Chains A and B, each alone.
Chain A
Amino acid sequence: IFGGYATKIQSFPWQVYFESPRGGGALINEYWVLTAAHVVEGNSDPVMYVGSTLLKIEQLRNAQRLITERVIIHPGWKQEDDLNARTNFDNDIALVQLKDPVKMGPTVAPICLPETSSDYNPSEGDLGLISGWGRTEKRTNVIQLRGAKLPVTSLEKCKQVKEENPKARSNDYVFTDNMICAGEKGVDSCEGDSGGAFALPVPNVKDPKFYVAGLVSWGKKCGTYGIYTKVKNYVDWILKTMQENSGPKKD
C-alpha cells in the first residue's frame, strides 16, 4: 500500500492473507474467498489466513488457517506464460472455495457483494478503502496490515500513467469496462496487495458498511493510479459459481 497507514485487521476483517505469492483476498462468506485470478493462477492450493493484523508466526498460529477446497478462476481470464509481460488483466477475478466454514468474530467478517442496482456503480470521486501487506514506498512488503483511502477516478487516468515495465509497451495494455481506476497521487495499492478488496460504503445505510467494489488487479506504476477488477460485473458469475459448488462435499 502506498500512501497508507498501519492499521488493524478489525478495520478490514474481510482481508485474507495469501502466503505465496503474497497477495490478498476478500472473504465474502463462510466458504468463499474472492481474489484476483493472477494471485491463484497456477496455484490450486494456496495457503491463506484470516483474522491477523500481523504476519508473525505466533500471530498466524492464532489466526484461522483457511483450507482450500477448490480454486475457480473466471473463464474469461487468459492464461499467459510470461507473467511479467502480461498486459491483459481482463476478468482478473477468481473464487477460492474453502473446505471448512470460517468462524466470524471481531477480526473476521465477510465483505458484502455489490447489488445489481445502479447505486452500486462506482462513480468518480467515490472514496474507497484498500488494505494489504504489499509493497510500500519503503519496503517490499510489511508485517503489519496497512490501509488507505482513495477515490474512484476515470479509467482514462489509469491509461495515462507512464509505463514502467520494460517488457510491455504502453499501448499493449488492455482496458475494459470490467476495470475500475482508483487512486490519487501517492495513494495506491502495489505488489503483494493483489486480490484484496477495494471497499466502497454501502449506499443509503447509516452505519459504516462496505461492499467489495473492486479487487486489486494491476497498475502501470505504484503510487499513481491502480486498476481494480469491477466486481459488480461478476456478481452473477460469483453467485452462480457458489451455488453450483455448494452441494454436499465428497469425502
Chain B
Amino acid sequence: EPTMYGEILSPNYPQAYPNEVVKTWDIEVPEGFGIHLYFTHLDVELSENCAYDSVQIISGGIEEERLCGQRTSKSPNSPIVEEFQFPYNRLQVVFTSDFSNEERFTGFAAYYTAVDVNECTDFTDVPCSHFCNNFIGGYFCSCPPEYFLHDDMRNCGVNCSGDVFTALIGEIASPNYPNPYPENSRCEYQIRLQEGFRLVLTIRREDFDVEPADSEGNCHDSLTFAAKNQQFGPYCGNGFPGPLTIKTQSKTLDIVFQTDLTGQNKGWKLRYHGDPIPCPKEISANSIWEPEKAKYVFRDVVKITCVDGFEVVEGNVGSTSFYSTCQSNGQWSNSRLECQPVDCGVPEPIENGKVEDPEDTIFGSVIHYTCEEPYYYMEQEEGGEYHCAANGSWVNDQLGVELPKCIPVCGVPTEPFRVQQR
C-alpha cells in the first residue's frame, strides 16, 4: 500500500552490515505525489563507482543514483547527509555488499516522504493544451471561454461539429473565419441533399489558409471531404491546393476540419450546390419531346407526343402522348412506355364480301375489300382499298371509316331465257 512516508535501514543498522547481502526496498507513495528521499546516515565501503558495496536508487528501471562512502551533514542544523527529489511516486532502493566488511561499515539510515509534484511545471511535456492547475496530489486542465475540455481532460477544443446542411445551395466556413480558427479541434460538418442531386464544391484559392504541411508533407491542420466511396484531401496550406471545383457523385458529403495545438491561420470558406442528376435524352424517330432541351435533369417533365401513326398503349388504352419525369435516379418515369405503330386490328368483315387477310395491320398497311362477284358489286366505284390511319381506323379515301357496301347486281339472269322454237 502506498504510504506518505517511511524509513529504510540497511541490515543490522546501526551495527556493521553483513557480507554478501542484496536487499531491495520498493517505495511507493500515492499517485500525484513525488518522493523526497533523504539519508541521515550513510557509511558504506567506498570503492570506485561503488563497485563493492553500494546503495542504488532506481526509478522506472533506470538507476538514478549510486551511493557509497561516508557522508556528513553540511548544515549543523540538519541531520540530513544526502537528499533527493523524484517527481515519481515509485522508487526502488537496492543495498548490495560484497564478501568482506572488515572495517565494519554500518550502512545507512534513510527516510522518504511523499511530496507534492507540480505537474504543470515539473515536466518537459505540458500536460494541458491550455491552462494547467496544480494541486496537492494532482493537477487539472482548464480552457479559455467558448472552448471545452475534451474527454481526455487534457485538451481544449471548440464545439464546432454537428451542423447538417440540407439546402441546395450553401456556404460553409471554418470557426471564426476569417479570424484564426481554434486549435486542437475537430469540426465535422455534413451536407445531406435530397435525392436527385449531386454535390459540387467550389473553393477559391484565396479563401483557404490552413497551417501548411510539415517538411514531410503531413498536414497537422487539415480539411478533408468524404463522399460516397470518394475522399478529397486532406488539404492544408496557404491557398487551396485542390481543384477549384470538386464534383462528387454523391448527394451526401462529410467535411472534417482537424486542427492541432499550434497554428493561427484564418481558415477556409467553401460554397456548395446541388447539381441535379441528368436523365438521358432518348432520341426516337416516333416521338416528339416538349420542351426540347439539350440536357434534361432531375424534375424536368417532358410531354412525349407520338408522331402520326404511332401511339402509346397502356393496358388496353391507346393515347397519342404521355408525360415523363426525370427521376432522382437519373431514369425517366414511364420509361417502359414507347410510341409504337398504331395497330388498326383485324378489319371488320362485310356482308356479301370479304377482306383479304392482311400481312400487317399497323399504321400504313393497306387492305382490300371485295364483293362476291358476279352477284354483288361494290357501291363505291373506287373499290375497297383501306389503309390503316393514324387514329387506328381503317380508312377509305371516299368513305372514311365507313365499310364498303356490297350491292346485289340487278337484272342479270345467270342463264338467258330462251324461247323454244315451235
Interface residues of A (CB under 8 A from B): 5, 7-8, 10-14, 28-30, 101, 103-107, 109-113, 129, 131, 147-149, 199, 202, 207-211
The docked-state distance in angstroms from the alpha carbon of A207 to that of B411 is 10
The docked-state distance in angstroms from the alpha carbon of A106 to that of B420 is 22
The docked-state distance in angstroms from the alpha carbon of A229 to that of B376 is 28
The docked-state distance in angstroms from the alpha carbon of A209 to that of B415 is 11
* Residues of B385-422 whose CB lies within 8 A of A: 407-420
CB distance from B211 to the nearest CB of A (A): 97
- The SS class assigned to the B binding surface is loop
Task: A104-B352, A109-B410, A209-B412 given; name 7 further pairs at CB < 8 Å.
Answer: A5-B419, A5-B420, A7-B418, A11-B413, A113-B410, A129-B417, A210-B411
CB distance from B87 to the nearest CB of A (A): 119
Please judge, given known A-B contacts A101-B351, A104-B375, whether A12 and B411 are in contact too, CB under 8 Å: no
Number of A-B contacts defined by CB within 8 Å: 74
Is B410 within 8 A of A110, CB to CB?
yes
Is B411 within 8 A of A10, CB to CB?
no
The docked-state distance in angstroms from the alpha carbon of A109 to that of B374 is 10
CB-nearest residue of chain A relative to B406? Answer: A104
A sample of 26 inter-chain contacts (CB < 8 A) reads A5-B420, A7-B417, A7-B418, A10-B413, A10-B414, A11-B413, A11-B414, A13-B413, A14-B410, A28-B410, A29-B408, A101-B351, A104-B352, A104-B375, A104-B376, A104-B409, A105-B375, A106-B414, A109-B375, A109-B411, A109-B412, A110-B410, A112-B410, A147-B417, A208-B413, A209-B410
Is A208 within 8 A of B410, CB to CB?
no
Q: Which residues of B contact A103 (CB under 8 A)?
A: 352
CB-nearest residue of chain B relative to A129? Answer: B417
Is B413 within 8 A of A202, CB to CB?
no
For the complex of A and B, 9 pairs with smallest distance between CB atoms = A112-B411, A112-B410, A11-B417, A10-B414, A104-B375, A10-B415, A210-B411, A209-B411, A106-B414
CB distance from B408 to the nearest CB of A (A): 5
The one of A101, A110, A112, A208 in contact with B416, judged by C-beta atoms closer than 8 angstroms, is A208
Please judge, given known A-B contacts A5-B420, A104-B376, A105-B375, whether A110 and B414 are in contact too, CB under 8 Å: no
Is B417 within 8 A of A109, CB to CB?
no
CB distance from A203 to the nearest CB of B (A): 12
The docked-state distance in angstroms from the alpha carbon of A112 to that of B409 is 8
Is A111 within 8 A of B410, CB to CB?
yes
CB distance from A208 to the nearest CB of B (A): 5
Is A210 within 8 A of B408, CB to CB?
no
Q: Which of B376, B412, B418 has the most A CB atoms < 10 Å from its CB?
A: B412
Q: Which residues of A contact B407 (CB under 8 A)?
A: 29
The one of B375, B411, B414, B419 in contact with A111, judged by C-beta atoms closer than 8 angstroms, is B411
Q: Which residues of A contact B414 (CB under 8 A)?
A: 10-11, 13, 106-107, 109
Q: Which residues of A contact B375 (CB under 8 A)?
A: 104-106, 109
CB-nearest residue of chain A relative to B413? Answer: A11
The one of B372, B376, B411 in contact with A211, judged by C-beta atoms closer than 8 angstroms, is B411
CB-nearest residue of chain B relative to A210? Answer: B411
CB distance from A71 to the nearest CB of B (A): 21
Q: Which residues of B contact A8 (CB under 8 A)?
A: 415
Is B419 within 8 A of A149, CB to CB?
yes
The docked-state distance in angstroms from the alpha carbon of A101 to that of B410 is 15
CB-nearest residue of chain A relative to B408? Answer: A104
The docked-state distance in angstroms from the alpha carbon of A151 to that of B418 is 15
Is B409 within 8 A of A109, CB to CB?
yes
CB distance from A174 to the nearest CB of B (A): 30
The docked-state distance in angstroms from the alpha carbon of A8 to that of B415 is 8
CB distance from B360 to the nearest CB of A (A): 32
CB-nearest residue of chain A relative to B409? Answer: A109
The docked-state distance in angstroms from the alpha carbon of A106 to that of B416 is 12
Q: Which residues of B contact A147 (CB under 8 A)?
A: 417
Q: Which residues of A contact B352 (CB under 8 A)?
A: 103-104
CB-nearest residue of chain B relative to A201? Answer: B411
Q: Which residues of B contact A110 (CB under 8 A)?
A: 408, 410-411
Is B417 within 8 A of A12, CB to CB?
yes
Q: Which residues of A contact B418 (CB under 8 A)?
A: 5, 7, 11
Q: Which residues of A contact B372 (CB under 8 A)?
A: 104
CB distance from A16 to the nearest CB of B (A): 14
Q: Which of B351, B376, B414 has the most A CB atoms < 10 Å from its CB?
A: B414
Is B408 within 8 A of A12, CB to CB?
no
The docked-state distance in angstroms from the alpha carbon of A5 to that of B416 is 13
Q: Which residues of B contact A149 (CB under 8 A)?
A: 417, 419
The one of A11, A30, A129 in contact with B408, judged by C-beta atoms closer than 8 angstroms, is A30
CB distance from B422 to the nearest CB of A (A): 10
Q: Which residues of A contact B415 (CB under 8 A)?
A: 8, 10-11
The docked-state distance in angstroms from the alpha carbon of A147 to that of B413 is 13
The docked-state distance in angstroms from the alpha carbon of A29 to that of B409 is 9
Q: Which residues of A contact B413 (CB under 8 A)?
A: 10-13, 109, 208, 210
CB-nearest residue of chain A relative to B410? Answer: A112
Q: Which residues of B contact A29 (CB under 8 A)?
A: 407-408, 410
The docked-state distance in angstroms from the alpha carbon of A101 to that of B372 is 15
CB-nearest residue of chain A relative to B376? Answer: A104
The docked-state distance in angstroms from the alpha carbon of A14 to that of B412 is 9
The docked-state distance in angstroms from the alpha carbon of A28 to that of B411 is 9
Q: Which of B376, B407, B411 has the most A CB atoms < 10 Å from its CB?
A: B411
Q: Which of B372, B376, B417 has the most A CB atoms < 10 Å from its CB?
A: B417
CB-nearest residue of chain B relative to A13? Answer: B413
* Residues of B222-245 whose CB lies within 8 A of A: none
Residue-by-residue, is B349-377 near A (CB-CB < 8 Å gives 1, otherwise 0)?
00110000000000000000000100110
Q: Which residues of B contact A11 (CB under 8 A)?
A: 413-418
CB-nearest residue of chain A relative to B375? Answer: A104
The docked-state distance in angstroms from the alpha carbon of A105 to that of B373 is 9
Q: Which residues of B contact A202 (CB under 8 A)?
A: 411
The one of B376, B408, B412, B420 in contact with A208, judged by C-beta atoms closer than 8 angstroms, is B412
CB-nearest residue of chain B relative to A113? Answer: B410
The docked-state distance in angstroms from the alpha carbon of A69 to that of B351 is 20
